[in-house]
Chain A
Amino acid sequence: MSNQILVVVEHLKGKIEDITFEMLGKGKEVADSTGGELVALLLGSGVEGMASQLGAASKVIYVDDANLAEYNPQAYCKAVGSVVADTQPKMLLVGNTSMGMDIAGGVSVDQNMPFIAYASGISADGGTVTSSLYGGKMNIDSSPSGEGCIVSVISGSFPADAGRVDGSPAIELASADLSGLTVQFKRLIEPEGGDLDITQQAILISVGRGIQSDENLPMAEELAAKLGGAISCSRPIVDSKWLAKTRQVGKSGLKVKPKLYLALGISGAPEHIEGMKDADLIIAVNTDPKAPIFDYAHYGVVQDLFDFIPALSGKL
C-alpha cells in the first residue's frame, strides 16, 4: 500500500464539481497529518487543462481515453480500478454522487477494498470515518479493517474553498484497458425549463411528505402567495407527481440559497439538506421534534402543519 490519498475528480460539461474540491481539501488535511501524498485522479478525453484547478494535489494522474469523454459507469469503474490497482492508495475518496455511487462500490468489489459510504466526517489521521445514515437520524463511526479503503463523501460535508487551489501539479499519464464496454453513453438531457426557477426565489415555502396529499397543496400555495414566495419541495413530492421536478430541492434536484426557506413537513434526509443548508434563514415545521431538519434550521416549530399553516396565513 502507498501513502497516497487519491481523489476521483468529478466533472460534467467541462466544469469540475464542488464535491471534488471538498474532497481535495479534506484529503490534503489527512495527507498532511499522515505524511502522505494527495493525488487527484482525472478521467476524460482532452481535459488535461483541468489540472490547473487541482493545485491542492501534488500530482494529477490522468487517464485520457475517448471512452471516458463522457461519464460512463462501466468505463469509469474500470479506469479507476486500474489506477487503484497500480497505486494501491491508502484512501480513495469518491463523491456520494450519482457518478460516485457507481464507482465506489464497483472498485470496492473488483479491488477487494473496504468501502465506507455516506461520509460526513473523516478524522485527521484518516482512520475513522463518520457516516450519516437512517435519513440523517444516526451517525456511525467506523474504521476500515486492513489497509487501504474507499470512502464516499456526501456533498456539502467539507468546505470546498479549502481544496480550490490553482496551480500546476505534475501530470502523470495512465492508461486502462477499456475494451469490450457493454454500456454506451447516448446523450445528456438538460432539465426542462419550468414555469419558475426556484434558485432565483428569495422566499421558498418547501413542502415534504408531511403535507400528506396533493389536496393539501393549495393551503401551502396560499401561504407562499401571501409571503411573496414560491413553492418548492422534497423528493417524495416529485415522485408522487404532485409537483414538477423543477421544484425539487436537494441532491438530485436543485441547490437553493433563498433569504427564507420555510420547510413544512420535511424531515431533513441528507439528500435534502445538501440542497438548502446555505439558506439565510431556515424555519422548519414538523410534528417530529427529533426530525434532523431541526439540526440545520435556525428556528424550529413542532406543530401539526394543518394547524400551523392556517395560523400563519391568517396573520399575513
Chain B
Amino acid sequence: MNIIVPIKQVPDLVEELEINSAGTDLDREWLKMKLSEFDDHALEEALLMKDDGGANVTAIALASDDIDKALFAAAAKGADRLVKVNGVSGSSTHEAAKAMANAIQGMDYDMVMTGVQAVDDRDGQLAVLLAHYLNIPHVSVVTGVTVAGDNVTVLKEYGGGMVAEFEASTPVVLGIQAARETPRYVPVAKVRRASKDATIEEVDAGDLGVDAGSTVSKMYKPDTGGGAEMLEGSAEDQASKIMELLTQKGIK
C-alpha cells in the first residue's frame, strides 16, 4: 500500500494576523507558519496505517519558505519518502492541486490522503480538486479508513454526529477530517536528525494550465456589527459582573 500525503504550511492563527498595504492579502513578512492541522491528521492516519500493517508513506509539498522543515518533520514522524514540487507561487488551490496532480501522476500509489480543508483555501479544498485533476474518486470529511485488498472502507462525517460508510476501490483521494489518534509529536532533535539523514526529491510543477479563477478585491477583519460587551477588570471583578448578569437574566 503506497500512500501519498500532500501537506502544507498555513499561518499560525494564534499569532496576530496583519493585512498587507494593498489590502488584499496577509502581510506575510513576519507571519509564523505551521503545518495545517488537517494535514497533520492526514499524515497521522497514514502513519498509523503504516504502523498497523505496512504502508509506504510519501509526504509531498509545494515549495515554500520553511517547507523543508515540515517535510523533515514528516520524515521524523515516520514518512518514508519526501517530495518537493517547485514552480508554484500564489495562493490558488486549483494551481496547487494541478501541480500536485502532475507530480503524483507518475508515482506508484494506492491512496492520497490530505487534510479536508485548510484555513486559507479560498478557492476550494485541495483533496477534491486533486482527485478530479487525477480523474480518480474522492471522499471528503473522512474520520475512518480501513483497507482490505483493493477496497477501502471510509467513514464520512455528516452534521449532527451522523456518519456514512462508503466503499471505494483504489486509487482514491481522501480528505481527512480527523485521524484515529491525536497526531504524534516529534521532538526538535529528531527533526534535526532527519534533516541530515533524509533527502528531499525535487520535481517540477509542470503545466498548470488553470484558467478558471477569481480575483480578490479586499481582505479585512470581519465586523459582525454586534460584538460583545467586554467586561473589564481582574478575574474577580469579571466573575462578579457575570454573577450580576446571570442573576439579572434569571439564570442563577
Contacts and interface: CB of A to CB of B under 8 A. Distances in A.
- Secondary structure call for the A interface: mixed
A83 interface: no
B228 A117 contact: no
B239 interface: yes
Contacts of A165: none
B236 A311 contact: yes
Nearest to A188: B164
Interface string B214-231: 111111111110111111
Contacts, number: 274
Q: Which of A73, A110, A113, A312 has the most CB of B within 10 A?
A: A73
A252 B239 CA distance: 32
Interface string B195-229: 00000000000000001111111111111101111
Contacts of A116: 122-123, 214
Interface string B126-157: 01110111000111110000000000010111
Contacts of A304: 235
Interface string B51-68: 000000000000000000
Q: Which of B211, B218, B235 has the most CB of A within 10 A?
A: B235
Nearest to B167: A184
In which size bucket is the chain B interface? 35 or more
Given A116-B214, A133-B122, A240-B182, A259 B222 contact: no
In which size bucket is the chain A interface? 35 or more
Nearest to A113: B212
Given A133-B120, A239-B182, A299-B231, 18 more contacts: A72-B166, A98-B140, A101-B117, A101-B140, A105-B132, A115-B214, A134-B11, A139-B221, A141-B219, A145-B214, A183-B167, A189-B163, A252-B141, A253-B161, A254-B160, A292-B222, A298-B228, A315-B239
Interface of A: 12, 17, 70-74, 77, 97-99, 101-102, 104-106, 108-110, 112-118, 128-129, 131-146, 149, 152, 182-192, 203, 227-228, 235, 239-241, 245-246, 248, 251-255, 259-260, 267, 281-284, 288-290, 292, 294-304, 307-308, 311-312, 314-316
Interface of B: 11, 13-14, 16-17, 19, 26, 41, 94, 97, 116-117, 119-125, 127-129, 131-133, 137-141, 153, 155-169, 172, 175, 177-178, 182, 211-224, 226-231, 235-236, 238-240, 242-243, 245-246, 249, 251-252
